[in-house]
Amino acid sequence: MAGEILDNKGRGEAGWNWPAIHPEGRKFGLIATAISLFFLLVLGWDIIGWPLLLLSAGVFAFFRDPERVVPQADSAIVAPADGLVTLIEEVQPPLELQIEDGSGFAGLPAGPVTRVSIFMSVFDVHINRTPVGGTVRRVVYIPGKFMNAELDKASDENERQHILIERGDGLKIGFTQIAGLIARRIVPFVKPGDMVAKGQRVGLIRFGSRVDIYLPAGTDPKVMIGQTTIAGETVLAEIGQRGLIEGIAQ
């Protein structure tokens, strides 16, 4: 299905397939499998071998990389991560996305914007995707702590990586990959100067984490606290559109 155009009028074909395993995770799955087989076949320790084999399957599942159908409307900002919307608030963008960095390209303007935080549990897909298409202007890694990624202060204190994308019309969107309690590695797939399509894979965070996205001024999210998002598919916001959206948990 990769590269196929689908629409809401019935064009295209879709069917369920086993998701691919991202190359970044294959080595971890194979190492876990080899250790479990050693306990099972060499030592004969079933009480350890079988749980380890189950854990190996979990490692492969963690690094699954399913295809996604990315909305192509120019105004659509898509979710950068699978997970639970845990925070929506007005904040100043991170300084690393604002200040002059010597590249000759301006960062995000100062002023309050809406930040949407998406928490990824160990059961979510951990491949992150770009919310808009354009040119990667910044990739800024910052070492830090490994607190619970659901906490508000994780945005400022945890290990994190900021990415800034500039569209062809000059609009800039920033988002941040944040390591959590279990995550110990943020892996980028892009670098400054790269051209990316909307919904393209741009990195992953190993074993539980969070992604913050900073919406442009004058844009409200189309998701609510408690909703789940699908990276590259869920329309997080439409540029320039505002308005209250309410939901009821049931």
Contact predicate 229/77, CB 8 Å: no
**pLDDT at position 43, please?**
86
Domain ranges (residues) in the chain: 23-62, 76-238
CATH label, 76-238, candidates 1.10.4190.10, 1.10.3720.10, 3.40.50.150, 2.70.70.10: 2.70.70.10
Choosing from 36, 56, 155, 209, the catalytic residue is 209
| pLDDT tens-digit profile, the chain (250 residues) | 678 898 888 998 888 888 888 888 888 889 989 999 988 888 888 888 898 999 888 888 888 999 999 999 999 999 999 999 999 999 999 999 998 888 889 999 999 999 999 999 888 998 999 999 999 999 999 886 655 555 555 566 678 899 999 999 999 999 999 986 665 578 889 999 999 999 999 998 876 689 999 999 999 999 999 999 999 999 999 999 999 999 999 9
Structure tokens at 191: 């670098």
Selection from 124, 69, 114 nearest residue 222 by Cα: 114
Contact predicate 249/233, CB 8 Å: no
Active site annotation includes 209: yes
**Burial track 171-205 (b if 16+ CB lie within 10 A, e otherwise):** ebbbbbbbbbbebeebbbbbeeebebebbebbbbb
Provide φ and ψ at 186, rounded to 5°.
Answer: -105, 125
